[in-house]
Every structure is written in C-alpha cells, then in structure tokens.
Amino acid sequence: MSEHGTLVAARYGIARSAKWPAAERAHVARSPHCTACRRPGLRVEVHHIFPFHFCVCLGRADLELDERNLVTLCPEHHLLLGHFDDYESMNLRVRGEARGRFHGMTDVQLRASDAWRKLAARRPAHLGEMTRDRRRELRETMDRHMPR
C-alpha cells in the first residue's frame, strides 16, 4: 500500500486485511505496468477504484481484495487520475480515463488539461464530509458495479 493509503486508513481507524500483501503482489504480477502510461520499469502502486477506506466504512471490506476494484498505476497517475490530486477522494472512472483520454499524459500535461481540471474541481467529497444519503448512494453504487 502506498504511504498515503496507510495514513488515510489510520485516520479512519481501519487496518488492511492480512491477505492484502498477497493480493497486491498477484495483481502486479497480472498487470505490471501503469495503466495510464505503460512505461516499463516504473514503480507501480495498486489503486482501489472504490478506495479501501470507503469500502470498509461502508460495509464492503471484501472489495479490498477484489480484482474488479484494482488497477495498476504509477505514483503520479495514482494521485492525479485515481484521486484527482486528493488521496481522500476518488475517481470511479479511473480505468477508462487512464486508458482513454488521459492515456500517456504526464503529470504536467494532466494538470494543464482543461478536462482534468474540470474533473478535479468536481471530485467527490471526503468520506467524512458525505451526508448519510450520499454514503447510502455510494454503497448502492458499489453493490451495483461490484455485486457480491
């Protein structure tokens, strides 16, 4: 897990599954390059599309280890595409955007992109800032996109 993920999880008082290191290694073995830039040799991180702390706090801890919820990104794309420059937020379209309109863009190009800036300006709220209704809607979205 990235250092940032550890800090966010600690803020919410949650811990990783003991099975996470094996799941993380298996994912990187299947998908060893950043989905957004595909540059070989870069350090990569396994990003949770529905962030781990959201999953646990909303009752879907199973998504921590679920391959459908994982995507490989380099550190710069993890932050900018996975979280819109805020590790406590999320981008539920990260996989498609990393392969599509933002594919191959550097951090400088992303930050200069009008499309990225508009998305980042509308990034989802932090979990602690969400209303009860918004949390319920997000849980329903999790269940719809990644049924048990």
Regarding predicted confidence, which is higher, 6 or 104?
104
pLDDT given at position 2: 61
pLDDT given at position 1: 47
Asked whether 89 and 83 are in contact (CB, 8 A), the reply is yes
Phi, psi angle pair for 129, to nearest 5°:
-95, -5
Residue with tokens 């702390």: 53
